[in-house]
Structures are given as C-alpha cells and as structure tokens.
Amino acid sequence: MRILTWNINSVRLRINLLGELLSTESPDVVCLQETKTPDEHFPLDAIRDFGYEHVAFHGMKGYNGVAILSKYPLDEIKTYDRCGKSDCRHISARFQPDANKAPITVHNLYIPAGGYEPDPVLNDKFQHKLDFVAELTEWFPANQNASDSIIALGDMNIAPLEQDVWSHKQMLNVVSHTPIELELFDKFFNSMNWVDAMRHFIPAEEKLFSWWSYRAKDWTKANRGRRLDHVWVTKPLEDSLKACSVLREARSWDRPSDHVPVIIDFAS
C-alpha cells in the first residue's frame, strides 16, 4: 500500500499537476489539504478519471479544505469541527487494503498556520493554533484506540525537531518552531504513542523539509525549508512501514504548491 499526503494549495488550480502526480506515483490513498473549494465545486469527475473512485471531501470557499482519494472503498467517513469552528480542517475515513487484515482509519489534518506573531495575546490566529493542537491531543486518546491501525497525517504546520528547520536557533521565534508549539506538539505525538513514519526512515540528525516559502527568489539555493507535513502511525502499523519519499522536485513544478508531496509505502 502506498499513501500520499500533499498540501495542494488549491485542488482546482493544480488539478493537472495532481493528475500527473497520481499517474507517476500511483498511490493507493491520497490525502490533500488546503483544497480551497466548496464541496459543490470539488473536481470529483476529474479525480475519478484519474482512477480514484472513492472520494471524501470537506471544503469551503477560498480557504482550508481536506480530501481523501482512494482506490479502496471508504466507509465511516467523518468530518470534525475543531475549537468551535466549521473550517474544514479534519476528515477521516476507514479502508481495508487487505481482506485478511484489520481495516485502517486515516485522519487527514490541516492544523492552522497560526499567523506571524508568536504571541497568543496579540495574535488570535496563534491562539487558535495552540487550542487546535491541544484539542487534538485530548480528542485522539478519548475517541480512538491506539491498538487499532490508525494513520494521522497532513499539513500540521509545526516543524518539531531541530533538523526539521533550516536553522533551529533562528527559527525559535518564528511560528511553526516556537517552544510553546513544540511542547504542545510533543504532547500530541505522545498522546497515542504515535510512530513518526518519516523519521522512521530518515534519522533525526538529518535535515528533512517538506515546505519552502514562495518568498525565496531561489528556494533551492537558500534551502530555508521546514518539515510541516507529517505522517504518523499507531504501533500496529509500525512493522509494515516500508519506505518514505519526499518529492522535493515538486517544488520546482510550474505554479507549484509551497509544500511537496510525502509518500509512505507499507508492506503488504
């Protein structure tokens, strides 16, 4: 099984890029964030033409939005409001790639970016981000069983490790790598005894990025990246982890997203 996550930054704008990606990489399950379209305009027919008959999506005009595309039938599709907001940041579904094994539940997450000022008093967007992570930390163990096969992935907008940012020292006062975010994120990670599927293959001592700002004139030369995209699995899936790919080349596509796709392969 191959699962892919990508903050596409508008599914309609980048539908052709998505089609090329799916044709080239052939993932079985795809999770998209920041689809930026209300459900009535979601490009369902195009995605089914790409070979993904089973699709779940939850979107709004111009902002946010999450979707799950699958070659396997989906059931128990659920959407969630977080922090009292209906802002289309969390969708889940269950699928079963192997009839002889337990089904897998995937949670596709788009955690708020949090604005630019890392002060919850001055910046309500930052407070919303902190509240969102804290709510997930309590919600998962209360509503999901860590002994089940569960994947939580998506654009989590936090780079937790020193080598997940281009400069740990210079990023400590920048939203996505501040101490308060890292502390909350660590609690979220430990809440279900998650396994970091990307770092399962790429040591924590190595730089690992999935996002590069549009503001850099030459993003490859500056290489001021951050790992904002994550794939976590519960312990029952750890032994089936097979490979990780971060498609860095996607950042150089024509009219790219500022995030690149992340792929995790699982053994059958």
Phi/psi of residue 226, nearest 5 degrees:
-145, 150
Render pLDDT for 173-203 as a digit per residue (tens, 0 to 9).
999 999 999 999 999 999 999 999 999 999 9
d(CA 210, CA 230): 9
Determine if the pTM surpasses 0.85: yes
Q: What is the DSSP string of 55-119?
A: EEEE--SSS--EEEEESS--EEEEE--BTTB----EEEEEE-S-TTS--EEEEEEE-----S---
Give the contacts of 61 (CB within 8 A, at least 6 positions apart). Answer: 36, 37, 38
Question: What pLDDT shows up at residue 217?
Answer: 84
The CATH class for the domain spanning 2-266 reads: alpha beta
Cβ–Cβ < 8 Å for 70, 79: no
Render pLDDT for 207-257 as a digit per residue (tens, 0 to 9).
999 999 999 889 999 999 999 999 999 999 999 999 999 999 999 999 999
Render pLDDT for 68-113 as a digit per residue (tens, 0 to 9).
999 999 999 999 999 999 999 999 999 999 999 999 999 999 999 9
Q: Where are the domains of the chain?
A: 2-266
Q: Which whole-number Å values give the CA distances from 52 to 30, 67, 158, 249, in the listed order? A: 9, 12, 30, 24
pLDDT tier at 61, thresholds 50, 70, 90: very high
Element holding 229 (H helix, E strand)? strand 229-233
Question: What pLDDT shows up at residue 50?
Answer: 98
